[in-house]
């Protein structure tokens, strides 16, 4: 009665159904994995972003090898900027607008040097390929509060003088020619004394988990 189920036609249908079901399960699991990664990032932001700043001496090792769970941790640093080492980072959109970020070496009173990302600048109107003006960092002793961020990968593309293709800390340190801690950099939260002319401050990262859960349920539903 059910011999037709063993015909080549029906076996082909069963094979296609099995392939489709497997693909749905794999895509559903992929969406769940993406959701888990997103939730982990949200948890780091919620736990670390606005927490009380920690003195540099207590988290120096994070600038050597940043623990993923410590990303966005606020750190207090005291020292002075090396304005001569300032660079702008290319291709850094913010809120859909093209622009740059400004990174500067920060020489701590302890003798260590770290990199601080002071903020964002829009593309310029006067000279193609660079902002119209780059606010100078403060001179002399400064107290900085910055949030820990991972070094970025090398992009295998060049950049004009005074610019970087990415915040690839080892490559930046090689340009500077003196020792720099390259396991993490700091995204500026505040400077004391404050400057009136500043790059645009970074907004708080989104804590919206997105649509991964609904997409995963859609893949599992068939």
Q: Under 8 Å CB-to-CB from 75, ≥6 apart: which residues?
A: 53, 54, 55, 56, 59, 62, 145, 146, 147, 148, 186
Is 108 domain-assigned? yes
The boundaries of the domain holding residue 102 are: 51-192
105 plus 215 within the same structural domain: no
Q: Looking at the DSSP assignment, which residues form a beta bridge with residue 76?
A: 55, 145
Q: What confidence tens digit (pLDDT) does each residue in 31-49 have?
A: 555 655 665 666 776 777 8
DSSP for 192-214? ES--SS-PBPPPPPP---TTHHH
Residue 156: the pLDDT is: 76
Strands 163-164 and 99-108: unpaired
179 plus 92 within the same structural domain: yes
Residue pair 106/140 in contact by the 8 Å Cβ criterion:
no
Residue linked to tokens 């100078």? 136
77 plus 92 within the same structural domain: yes
122 plus 184 within the same structural domain: yes
Residue 14: the pLDDT is: 60
Residue 125: the pLDDT is: 83
Q: Indicate the pTM of the whole model.
A: 0.77
Two tokens at 105? 């070496």
Structural domains in the chain (count): 2
Is 201 domain-assigned? no
Cα separation, 131 vs 184, in Å, equals: 25
Residue pair 146/74 in contact by the 8 Å Cβ criterion:
yes
43 plus 75 within the same structural domain: no
Cα separation, 3 vs 166, in Å, equals: 64
Is 206 domain-assigned? no
CATH at residue 109: 2.40.50
Residue 10: the pLDDT is: 53
Is 120 domain-assigned? yes
Is 174 domain-assigned? yes
CA distances from 38 to 35, 175, 204 (A): 5, 34, 15
pLDDT in tens, the chain (222 residues): 555 445 565 556 566 666 655 655 555 565 555 655 665 666 776 777 888 999 999 999 999 999 998 999 999 999 999 999 999 999 999 988 999 999 999 999 999 999 999 999 999 888 778 899 999 999 999 999 999 999 999 887 778 889 999 999 999 999 999 999 999 999 999 999 988 899 999 988 766 655 444 444 444 455
Is 133 domain-assigned? yes
Q: Under 8 Å CB-to-CB from 211, ≥6 apart: which residues?
A: none
């Amino acid at each position: 009665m059910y011999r037709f189920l063993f015909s080549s036609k029906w076996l082909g249908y069963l094979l296609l159904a099995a392939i489709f079901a497997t693909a749905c399960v794999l895509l559903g699991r992929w969406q769940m994995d993406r959701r888990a990664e997103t939730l982990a990032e949200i948890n780091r932001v919620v736990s670390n972003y606005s927490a009380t700043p920690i003195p540099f001496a207590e988290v120096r090792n994070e600038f050597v090898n940043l623990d993923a769970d410590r990303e966005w941790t606020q750190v207090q640093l005291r020292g002075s900027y090396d304005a001569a080492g300032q660079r702008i980072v290319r291709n850094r959109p913010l809120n859909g607008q093209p622009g740059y970020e400004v990174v500067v070496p920060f020489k701590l009173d302890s003798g260590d040097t770290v990199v601080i990302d002071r903020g964002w600048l829009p593309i310029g109107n006067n000279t193609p390929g660079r902002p119209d003006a780059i606010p100078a960092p403060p001179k002399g002793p400064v107290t900085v509060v910055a949030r820990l961020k991972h070094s970025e990968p090398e992009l295998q593309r060049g950049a004009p003088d005074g610019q970087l293709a990415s915040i690839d800390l080892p490559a930046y340190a090689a340009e500077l020619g003196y020792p720099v801690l390259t396991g993490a950099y700091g995204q500026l939260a505040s400077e004391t004394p404050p400057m009136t002319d500043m790059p645009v401050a970074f907004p708080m990262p989104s804590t919206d988990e997105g649509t991964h859960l609904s997409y995963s349920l859609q893949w599992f539903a068939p």
